Amino acid sequence: MNGRSHTRRGEITTFALVEAMEFSVALVISKTVEENEGLCSAIPSSGHKPYSPDGGVWQTTPPPPQPPILRHTTQPLTLNSSALTTRTSTTPSKPSPKPPWSVPSSSTSSASLPSKSIPTYNFCTSSAAATIAFLYLPTIHKQTTKSFKDLKTTILHFPGLPPIRASHMPHPLLDRDDQAYHHMLYFASQLPKLKGIIANTFKSLEPKAIKTIAEGICVPDAPTPPVKEVAIGLEKSGHRFLWVVHNPPTDENGKRISAAEDSDLDALLPEGFLDRTQGRGLVIKSWAPQVAVLSRESVGGFVTHCGWNSVLEAVSAGVPMVAWPLYAEQHINKAVLVEDMKMAIPMEPSNDDGFVSSAEVNNRVRELMGSEEGKALRRRSQEMRKSAMAAWSEFGSSMTAFTELTESWKQC
């Protein structure tokens, strides 16, 4: 099952949902009554933790009791892995003191995380282009051992930016031996771990830079969001599939799924995935009738998180499984399914969170659908299906045990 609420919607069809790390973003345009425009946009980070889709621009002050001078209206900025929201907020002309958890007020402030339960942003007063330079700094750092000040003729190449001379980098970064350089390097390495970046710019002014940041191109070492890993693996496998995708996780552990709204498939999945798999794969939102799907003769396998109800449904339908446990008793069920019952192939996670790589998805799907072991699992599953049917027949084991139980009540 996919949520801690133990809803049955998690293990659906021939491929179960993988909880995704998701980001959220909103473009904010604010205009004063008496002065000119002030523009800013919130850009999501490419961090390593699961994020809530309920995003927006974070404020350090509550709405004032008096009529505000500024009114912010948000518009969604489409990203490749975002669930977007629209909201309206107000800011007073004289902001009250910042609370102790407020966002750093400049691009050089500390990016340390105050609490896992409080969304943390970095407010960058410079351009989105400058933000790219900071985000890409750890990558440039690995490419040379010399200080920028000594690379007088060297041209640096940043994604989404024109070539920049190394000696033209910001002054604190020029000397590699300067403590300021290492402070900035640490700051740059922490930026992708934040909830997002609030940049002092707007979309039509720096469209290329904003897109580069939003797509995570300037953080090349960041992992691919798990839902995309699954999509890539399914596409590479070449097999037909039915896949139900839920909303992004709504808790800090990335396992509680909200069913309040449909998922934005274009945002969650790799670009062009739906077009490339059209006619071979079907991706649907939120929920599907699992028992009805598993009962179809065309279903050749079931990737499950090993919730026991779903296991019983697969057994009753005679469908072999790929076991992919995440929490609760699912790991125990997986061990029995793989080692004892011989009715499942194990899916090996790539980290402690239970997420898997696209290569693992590809390999396990191919193994289940095309290998000799997969064929043996299918035969074993069909045999167990007959046993499940027999258990509830007139003299079957389950019917007999249930009858004996009810007879014992009559003697009480």
- Number of helices and strands in the chain (H, E): 12, 13
Task: Give the ranges where 265-371 is alpha helix by DSSP (H).
Answer: 265-268, 273-276, 290-294, 308-317, 330-335, 358-370
- Please tell me the class of the 226-391 domain: alpha beta
Distance, C-alpha 210 to centroid of its chain: 20
What pLDDT score was predicted for residue 225?
74
What are the Cα distances from residue 7, in Å, to 3, 10, 50, 118, 227?
6, 7, 20, 27, 20
Per the CB < 8 A criterion, the answer to whether 228 and 269 are in contact is yes
Classify residue 30 by burial, with Cβ atoms within 10 Å: 0-12, 13-18, 19+: middle
Rounded to 5 degrees, φ, ψ at 342 are 60, 45
What pLDDT score was predicted for residue 248?
56
Alpha-carbon gap, residue 272 to 21, rounded angstroms: 20
Angle at 75 between CA 70 and CA 80, to 5 degrees: 140
What pLDDT score was predicted for residue 249?
53
What pLDDT score was predicted for residue 117?
61
CA proximity to 313, closest of 9, 5, 4, 17? 9
Is the CA virtual torsion 232, 27, 25, 190 positive or negative?
A: positive
Domain boundaries, the chain: 26-214, 226-391
Q: Identity (one letter) of the amino acid at 91?
A: T
What is the b/e burial string over 83-110, where b = at least 16 CB atoms within 10 angstroms of the residue's CB? Answer: bbbeeebbbbeeeeeeeeebbbeebbee
Q: 124 forms bridges with which residues in the sheet?
A: 199
Mind listing the pLDDT tens digit for each residue in 320-364? Answer: 999 999 888 999 999 999 999 999 999 998 777 778 889 999 999
CA proximity to 188, closest of 229, 146, 230, 139? 139
What is the b/e burial string over 375-409, where b = at least 16 CB atoms within 10 angstroms of the residue's CB? Answer: eebbebbeebbeebeeeeeeeeeeeeeeeeeeeee
Alpha-carbon gap, residue 300 to 320, rounded angstroms: 7
pLDDT (tens, 9 = 90+) of the chain, 412 residues, equals 333 333 333 333 334 323 333 333 333 322 222 333 333 344 444 443 333 333 333 333 344 444 333 333 333 333 333 322 223 333 444 443 433 333 333 343 444 444 556 788 888 888 889 999 999 999 999 999 999 999 989 999 999 999 999 999 999 999 999 999 999 999 898 888 888 888 888 888 999 998 888 878 888 877 667 888 899 999 999 999 999 887 655 444 444 444 434 567 877 888 899 999 999 999 988 788 999 999 999 999 999 999 999 999 999 999 999 999 988 899 999 999 999 999 999 999 877 777 888 999 999 999 999 999 999 999 999 999 999 999 999 999 999 999 999 999 988 7
CA dihedral 377, 381, 384, 390 (to 10 degrees): -160
What pLDDT score was predicted for residue 197?
87
Q: What is the largest CA-CA distance in the chain?
A: 96
Both ends of the chain: CA-CA distance in Å?
38
Q: What's the pTM?
A: 0.55
Alpha-carbon gap, residue 395 to 10, rounded angstroms: 34
What pLDDT score was predicted for residue 411?
87
Residue with token string 């105050």: 114
